[in-house]
């Protein structure tokens, strides 16, 4: 002990001497600000410039199994394998990384991790957006959202990269299945419903692709030339409804340019319209590798660049250091991002289970699928099929059904119920010989095309298996043996390319012959042919529909496909879906046909990210506001099946349309009574259109301004439906005044079962012109557009 005494003495002396200094240091050095505990501005002020330029750029993603950066969409290996990206974490300031993941019809993550299939991470494939819109029922869509969001939450994802709500401008749009409708009211209302449902779980959404992203051809270079009015009324309207009605956590800008500028670099779009005019409060992210100039993207208010590369951060750092980017711009963008991170499950340290209730969600998926299938034709009550009959089931996709589209809209689901399985589950007998023939054919064809990786498939999609051509003898023997025939026709598509006319929009010659042969053989025996359409977008129907006794548009209905279709075919569920997109008689009737997908400038082609060829291109929206039914109805072009159309196994009577007043003053209410006059219970999608006076502005014949679905009405039961009509429902965008204006005059309210099948109408007057809202003069086209006008009605 004694030996140590001098040492102890020295140590005590040191402690005593150093004490005042450490007390002084503790008093002057403030603890670092922490996200959630300190004001956001203090957190930002504590960041280094290096941290700032990393926070506005995502962490990137890797090719599977490598550490190298790569273009494989959805390969962030860290927290949630298969997610599309993550943000940069700054732990010293309490800022976690958040995870973002696709996509619109179900969460797209890696289902098997580290080759260990003892634990799986499958997600529910819900029906595609085109089907959800066809429900015309925002309650059903919200319910899907609640289930969907619970999977996002339980799998450790913070923000879902969905829903997508671009407009069905042209039937060949490769991603139309991800989008809702040709009509912005439907697109906007469906988006509100699903966003509110998903976000009720405490996770975020990213409504996409903002804006006017209506084609896949040249998607990274296309310059969309469009009038201010068509933008405001058609292409921005759905986003406006969605932002105001659901305030999503984030918005994803699109790949294309609008009137010369990439959307992600367009301050007028991202800040003036989205934030200033509509009051958006969240953050904006780019689409994956979207846009060209990160400095312009920061300045436009596109807060986060995804998936992110170190080079982008470096370019931003250089720009700040060379005074071409004010660090205040970064600070503002970071504030937007942090406000969202604050709400995220990752910030709240949510202990996700990796075990969502997939069984319950499959039931919700099935229920929604049944509500959005559209009965297009049903001659002599061919449907519903009576129980216990024997069915000859034809068509590749009866056996290999398509649950949803491809690309980032795909979902890794545990199973898909085929139609053959669904019919069997529903108690029908299905013909064994035919089943064997199709099963063997499909197995042999699949061997020819081994399964490819996501990226290989993206670059070079496997062609669909050609429709099996059953010999006439086989069809004839089936016609003798079975009680009726079902033929399923399938189509698939996805991001990266638009659909083709030949063998896609139009049926192939061989498909038409197969349908005809089946129809002839079964009709000769006085038996029926039911055609099921397992498609994600519009096809041509008029030339072959006479062969079918009934046509059910089942869309791409999610993982319970076969069960849901069987429930409609059997009559267990009454079909109540209606079209939210027109099926024209022929492609040449489509108003955008001569301006789709636009023209390319191959001499200016360059090489973009990962060696992709980038060919500058432009498309001019000469049809203006005349998209979908706005065109067909105004120009009297008869479609095969009009917007709003869909049959039921029962009938509905519309009566007593009443307006609360016959002159407009701020608001009106329209009420109507719907009665089920048929023999089975059913629901009716009721639509309200308005025809506005068109003395000063050219206007569509009518526009959808309200819709509702009745409850399940029993035979004889009635329900009163009421719609409110507000001032902005009367207005059109007057470019000369940069304002939404309701013209004085007489307005007609038309309530009906479809855009053509108006059941009741009434009128009211607006005494004086109303200016509803004055907007900014922005996004003005630089070249004149020869826009369609209804005075050209030459048809
Ligand atoms: C798609 C987006 C998707 C993103 C991330 C892009 O290619 O256009 O819709 O969210 O990839 O996977």
Instruction: For residue 93, give the nearest of 167, 164, 37 by alpha carbon.
Output: 37
Atom of ligand 1 nearest to the CA of 255: 8
142 three-class SS: helix
Q: What pLDDT does residue 787 have? A: 97
Per-residue pLDDT reduced to its tens digit, 401-434: 999 999 999 999 999 999 999 999 999 999 899 9
CA distance 274 to 270: 5
- Atom 3 (ligand 1): residue with closest C-alpha? 408
Q: Is 498 in the pocket of ligand 1 (CB under 6 A)?
A: no
433: how many CB neighbours lie within 10 A of its CB?
12
Q: Is 102 in the pocket of ligand 1 (CB under 6 A)?
A: yes
10-residue stretch averages of pLDDT, the chain, 795 residues long: 43 44 53 97 98 96 51 56 94 96 96 93 98 98 98 98 98 98 98 99 98 97 98 98 98 98 98 98 98 98 97 98 98 98 98 98 98 98 90 98 95 97 96 95 94 83 94 96 97 96 97 98 98 98 98 98 98 98 98 98 89 92 98 98 98 98 97 98 98 95 98 98 98 98 98 98 98 98 95 44
Per-residue pLDDT reduced to its tens digit, 739-764: 999 999 999 999 999 999 999 999 99
Give the side-chain half-sphere CA count within 13 A for 283. 31
Ligand 1 centroid – CA 698 distance (Å): 37
Q: Is 288 in the pocket of ligand 1 (CB under 6 A)?
A: yes
- Atom 7 (ligand 1): residue with closest C-alpha? 288
Q: What is the 3-state secondary structure (H, E, C) of 472-518?
A: HHHHHHHHHHCCEEEEEEECCCECCCCCCHHHHHCCCHHHHHHHHHH
Q: What pLDDT does residue 14 have? A: 44
Tokens of 481: 């043996």
- Atom 2 (ligand 1): residue with closest C-alpha? 287
Q: What pLDDT does residue 16 have? A: 45
- Atom 9 (ligand 1): residue with closest C-alpha? 408
Atom of ligand 1 nearest to the CA of 178: 9
Strand stretches in 105-178, DSSP E? 112-113, 116-120, 159-160
Q: Which residues are CB-contacts of 18 (< 8 A; sequence separation ≥ 6)?
A: none
Ligand 1 centroid – CA 287 distance (Å): 6
Q: Is 622 in the pocket of ligand 1 (CB under 6 A)?
A: no
The model's pTM is: 0.95
Ligand 1 centroid – CA 503 distance (Å): 27
Atom of ligand 1 nearest to the CA of 74: 12
Q: Which residues are CB-contacts of 166 (< 8 A; sequence separation ≥ 6)?
A: 173, 175, 179, 187, 209, 211, 212, 213, 214, 235, 254
117-123, long-range: CB within 8 Å, 24+ apart, which pairs? 119/354, 120/414, 121/81, 121/82, 121/155, 121/354, 121/412, 122/358, 122/412, 122/413, 122/414, 123/151, 123/155, 123/356, 123/358, 123/411, 123/412, 123/413
What is the total residue count of the chain?
Answer: 795
CA distance 187 to 238: 5
Positive or negative torsion for Cα 241, 242, 247, 250: negative
Q: What pLDDT does residue 63 have? A: 52
Q: Is 208 in the pocket of ligand 1 (CB under 6 A)?
A: yes
- Atom 4 (ligand 1): residue with closest C-alpha? 288
154 three-class SS: helix
Ligand 1 centroid – CA 209 distance (Å): 9
Give the CA distances from residue 18 to residues 15, 29, 519, 601, in Å, rounded to whole numbers and listed in that order.
5, 17, 98, 74
Mutate to test the pocket of ligand 1, among 307, 408, 496 (most ligand atoms within 8 A of CB): 408
Q: Which string of DSSP letters, residue by residue, matches 528-587?
A: EEEEEEE-SS----TTTGGG-SEEEE-----TTHHHHHHHHHHTSS------SS-B-SSG
Per-residue pLDDT reduced to its tens digit, 548-606: 999 999 999 999 999 999 999 999 999 999 999 999 999 999 999 999 999 999 999 99
Give the CA distances from residue 458 to residues 471, 691, 795, in Å, rounded to whole numbers and listed in that order.
35, 44, 42
Contact between residue 351 and residue 390 where contact means Cβ atoms under 8 Å apart:
no
Instruction: For residue 681, give the nearest of 651, 637, 719 by alpha carbon.
Output: 651
207 three-class SS: strand
Known catalytic membership, residue 287? yes
Positive or negative torsion for Cα 763, 769, 774, 780: positive
Q: What pLDDT does residue 542 have? A: 98
Q: Is 179 in the pocket of ligand 1 (CB under 6 A)?
A: no
CA distance 266 to 253: 10
CA distance 456 to 406: 13
CA distance 208 to 187: 12
Instruction: For residue 609, give the nearest of 65, 221, 252 by alpha carbon.
Output: 221
Q: What pLDDT does residue 151 have? A: 98
Q: Are strands 99-101 and 159-160 parallel, antiparallel or unpaired?
A: parallel
End-to-end CA distance of the chain: 112
Q: What pLDDT does residue 29 have? A: 74
Q: Is 495 in the pocket of ligand 1 (CB under 6 A)?
A: yes
Atom of ligand 1 nearest to the CA of 409: 9
Mutate to test the pocket of ligand 1, among 58, 59, 73 (most ligand atoms within 8 A of CB): 73
Mutate to test the pocket of ligand 1, among 100, 102, 498 (most ligand atoms within 8 A of CB): 102
703 three-class SS: strand
Radius of gyration of the chain (CA): 29
Q: Is 161 in the pocket of ligand 1 (CB under 6 A)?
A: yes
Ligand 1 centroid – CA 492 distance (Å): 18
Choice among 268, 287, 303, 574 that is catalytic: 287
Q: Is 84 in the pocket of ligand 1 (CB under 6 A)?
A: yes
Q: What pLDDT does residue 413 have? A: 97
Q: Is 408 in the pocket of ligand 1 (CB under 6 A)?
A: yes
Q: What pLDDT does residue 611 have? A: 77
Ligand 1 centroid – CA 70 distance (Å): 14
The answer to whether the peptide bond before residue 103 is cis (omega within 30 degrees of 0) is: yes
């Amino acid at each position: 002990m004694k030996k140590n005494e001098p040492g102890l003495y020295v140590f005590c002396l040191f402690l005593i001497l150093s004490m005042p200094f450490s007390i002084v240091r503790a008093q002057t050095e403030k603890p670092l600000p922490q996200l959630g505990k300190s004001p956001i501005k203090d957190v930002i002020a504590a960041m280094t410039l290096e941290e700032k330029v990393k926070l506005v750029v995502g962490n990137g993603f890797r090719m599977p199994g490598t550490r190298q950066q790569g273009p494989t969409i959805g390969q962030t290996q860290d927290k949630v394998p298969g997610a599309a990206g993550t943000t940069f974490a700054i732990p010293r300031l309490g800022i976690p990384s958040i995870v973002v993941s696709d996509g619109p019809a179900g969460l797209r993550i890696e289902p098997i991790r580290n080759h260990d299939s003892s634990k799986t991470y499958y997600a529910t494939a819900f029906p595609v957006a085109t089907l959800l819109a066809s429900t015309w029922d925002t309650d059903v869509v919200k319910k899907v959202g609640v289930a969907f969001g619970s999977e996002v939450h339980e799998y450790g994802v913070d923000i879902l990269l969905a829903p997508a709500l671009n407009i069905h401008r042209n039937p060949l749009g490769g991603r139309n299945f991800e989008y809702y409708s040709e009509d912005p009211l439907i697109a906007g209302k469906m988006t509100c419903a699903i966003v509110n449902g998903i976000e009720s779980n405490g996770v975020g959404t990213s409504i996409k692709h903002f804006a006017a992203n209506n084609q896949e051809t040249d998607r990274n270079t296309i310059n969309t030339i469009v009038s201010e009015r068509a933008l405001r009324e058609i292409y921005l309207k759905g986003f406006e409804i969605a932002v105001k009605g659901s305030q999503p956590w984030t918005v994803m800008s699109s790949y294309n340019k609008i009137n010369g500028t990439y959307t992600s670099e367009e301050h007028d779009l991202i800040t003036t319209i989205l934030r200033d005019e509509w009051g958006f409060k969240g953050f904006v992210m780019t689409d994956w590798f979207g846009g060209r100039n990160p400095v312009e993207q920061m300045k436009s208010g596109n807060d986060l660049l995804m998936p992110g590369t170190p080079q982008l951060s470096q370019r931003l750092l250089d720009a700040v250091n060379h005074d071409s980017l004010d660090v205040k711009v970064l600070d503002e963008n970071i504030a937007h991002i942090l406000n969202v991170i604050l709400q995220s499950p990752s910030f709240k340290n949510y202990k996700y289970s990796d075990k969502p209730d997939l069984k319950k969600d499959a039931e919700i998926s099935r229920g929604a699928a049944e509500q959005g299938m559209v009965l297009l034709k049903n001659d002599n009550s061919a449907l519903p099929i009576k129980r216990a009959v024997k069915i000859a089931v034809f068509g590749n996709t009866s056996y290999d059904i398509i649950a949803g589209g491809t690309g980032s809209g795909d979902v890794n689901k545990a199973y898909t119920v085929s139609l053959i399985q669904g019919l069997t589950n529903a108690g029908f007998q299905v013909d064994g010989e035919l089943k064997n023939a199709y099963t063997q054919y499909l197995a042999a064809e699949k061997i020819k095309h081994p399964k490819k990786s996501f990226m290989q498939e993206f670059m070079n999609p496997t062609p669909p298996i050609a429709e099996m051509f059953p010999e006439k003898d086989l069809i004839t023997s089936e016609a003798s043996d079975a009680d009726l025939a079902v033929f399923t026709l399938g189509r698939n598509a996805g991001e990266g390319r638009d659909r083709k006319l030949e063998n896609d929009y139009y049926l192939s010659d061989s498909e038409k012959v197969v349908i005809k042969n089946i129809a002839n053989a079964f009709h000769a025996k006085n038996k029926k042919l039911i055609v099921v359409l397992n498609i994600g977008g519009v096809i041509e129907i008029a030339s072959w529909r006479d062969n079918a006794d009934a046509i059910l548009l089942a869309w791409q209905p999610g993982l319970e496909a076969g069960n849901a279709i069987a429930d409609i075919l059997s009559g267990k569920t009454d079909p109540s879906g209606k079209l939210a997109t027109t099926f024209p008689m022929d492609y040449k009737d489509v108003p955008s046909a001569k301006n789709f997908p636009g023209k390319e400038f191959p001499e200016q082609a360059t090489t973009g990210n990962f060696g992709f060829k980038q060919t500058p291109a432009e498309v001019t929206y000469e049809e203006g506001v005349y998209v979908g039914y706005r065109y067909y109805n105004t120009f009297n072009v008869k479609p095969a099946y009009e917007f709003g159309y869909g049959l039921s196994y029962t009938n509905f009577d519309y009566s007593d349309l009443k307006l609360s007043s016959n002159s407009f003053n701020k608001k009106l209410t329209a009420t109507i009574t719907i009665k089920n006059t048929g023999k089975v219970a059913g629901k009716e999608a009721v639509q309200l259109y308005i025809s506005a006076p068109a003395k000063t502005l050219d206007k569509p014949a009518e526009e959808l301004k309200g819709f509702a679905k009745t409850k399940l009405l029993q035979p004889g039961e009635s329900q009163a439906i009421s719609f409110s009509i507000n001032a902005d429902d009367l207005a059109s965008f007057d470019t000369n005044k940069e304002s939404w204006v309701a013209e004085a005059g007489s307005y007609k309210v038309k309530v009906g079962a479809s855009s053509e099948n108006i059941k009741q109408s009434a009128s009211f007057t607006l005494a004086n012109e109303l200016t509803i809202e004055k907007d900014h003069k922005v996004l003005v086209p630089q070249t004149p557009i020869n826009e369609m006008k209804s005075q050209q009605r030459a048809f």
